[in-house]
Amino acid sequence: MATNTTSNGGSEARTFPAALPVEIPYRSRLSWELGTRVVGGTETELLSRWRSEDGWALAVFRATSETLIIRFQTPAGRELFYGTEASVRSTVRTRLEARPAWRRADRRDEPADQNDT
């Protein structure tokens, strides 16, 4: 669970919606405008896409060598963006693979790179 500082100096705990499959360590919430700009940039690489049985979607992007952007999309199309350390990539993949309701949406015929998320 992430803790964010509010404008009045207090802090509030934020968690992912219950439908999402993973708790991502060391994350920070990005505004929709910033998240959209980063994932749409020419320097950003899409690493993987996942879909749930109930209409949720998740995409993992490499923004820098040290930073991932994770985009969650609700069944209604609302997008939520989070930034996190690139070091959590394998943790995210392992947690998604452990959830039977989630499937890799960009699966290729060739074996996946060990570093794919």
Summarize pLDDT for 24-73 with one digit per residue, the tens.
766 789 999 999 999 999 999 999 999 988 898 999 999 999 999 999 99
Check residue 86 and give left, alpha or beta (phi > 0: left; psi -120 to 50: alpha). Answer: alpha
Which pairing describes strands 45-52 and 102-104: parallel, antiparallel, or unpaired?
antiparallel
18 CB neighbour count, 10 Å cutoff: 5
Find the range with the poorest average confidence among 11-15, 16-20, 57-61: 11-15
Cα–Cα nearest to 80, from 23, 33, 21 = 33
pLDDT score of 108: 52
pLDDT score of 13: 47
CB contact at 8 A, 38 and 63:
yes
For residue 12, give both structure tokens: 């509030």
For residue 95, give both structure tokens: 């947690």
What's the pTM?
0.73
If one compares 91 and 46, the residue with the highest pLDDT of the two is: 46
As a 3-state breakdown, the chain gives helix, strand, coil percent values, each rounded to 5, of 15, 40, 45
